[in-house]
Amino acid sequence: MKSFSRLLCGIALWLLVSWAHAGAYEDFFKAFEFDNAQEIQRLLSRGMDPNTPNENGVPALAVATRLGAAKSAMLLAQHPKTQVNVVNSVDETPLMLAALNNQLDVAQVLIDRGAEVNRKGWTPLHYAATKGHTAMMRLLLDNNAYIDAESPNGTTPLMMAAYYGTPLSVKLLLEEGADPTPRNQLHVNALDLALKAERTQSAFYIRAFTVAWEIRELGQ
């Protein structure tokens, strides 16, 4: 009888712990939706792993940066146990998502903690250029981002800026030495993309720098 009672107590304790863990898990990811850093800090202090993935397998820091939850992302970025180069299901790093959402402070902390500025394939600079975030682009370039990085299909940050970004982002990359001449696997270059997107100012910059680039190449 005593053994049976102990078994029941053990089962009850297990159920209680499981229920509490499930509740904490739900609270953790719900807090990101409202950028409730105070709640996240409370849960972390009670033992929640900052690298916990959500139900889709996306790590917490990637969730925060994707949602643009700046305070929550900063809290996780600064946490000593957070893995700063963990990727989500589509191979995006927290730094890439911070670049996309123009979270400069978060990006700086991630870089300081060893986040990869350069990586094979799509890079944080591609993501920043896509949105025309010039301050973010400068931060990445100042931290040795490779300006002509190629995505899996050969697309460069300049190509992304030409099609999706702003004239200022195009101008910045060109002034910093981006090569305007490469073509990706679709056989288009930055000028082709700017013209296709009807971005006349960007196309003007690219034409001017292409001429200068070709003259420089001929002189070498």
The CATH number of whichever domain residue 181 belongs to comes to 1.25.40.20
Global confidence as pTM = 0.86
pLDDT in tens, 50-60: 999 998 888 99
Give the residue from 93, 116, 139 where a domain finishes.
116
CA angle 57, 62, 68 (to 5 degrees): 135
Asked if residue 103 and residue 166 are part of one domain, the reply reads no
Per-residue model confidence as pLDDT tens for the chain (220 residues): 545 455 434 443 443 333 344 568 888 989 999 999 999 999 999 999 999 999 888 899 999 998 989 999 999 999 999 999 999 889 999 999 999 999 999 999 999 999 999 999 999 999 999 999 999 999 999 999 999 999 999 999 999 999 999 999 999 999 999 999 999 999 999 999 999 999 999 999 999 999 887 777 776 6
Tokens of 15: 């159920």
* Residues 145 and 184 reside in one and the same domain: yes
Residue 8 sits in the same domain as residue 109: yes
Q: CA angle, 200 as apex, 194 and 206 as ends, to 5°?
A: 60
Q: What amino acid occupies position 108? A: Q
- The answer to whether 210 touches 181, Cβ cutoff 8 Å, is yes
Separation between Cα atoms, residue 85 and residue 82, nearest integer Å = 9
At residue 111, the 3 state secondary structure works out as helix
At residue 220, the pLDDT reads 62
94-123 burial string, b = 16+ CB within 10 Å, else e?
Answer: bbbbbbbbbbbebbbbbbebebebebeebb
Residue type, 184: N
Residues above pLDDT 90, as percent of the chain: 77
Q: Are residues 109 and 152 in the same domain?
A: no
User: Of 85, 116, 147, which residue sits at a domain end?
Assistant: 116
Residues 77 and 147 in one domain: no
Question: Are 3 and 108 part of one and the same domain?
Answer: yes
Do 100 and 142 lie in one domain? The reply is no
151 shares its domain with 111: no
Q: Which domain holds residue 140?
A: 120-219
Domain stop point among 116, 141, 162: 116
pLDDT digits (tens, 9 = 90+) for 166-180: 999 999 999 999 999
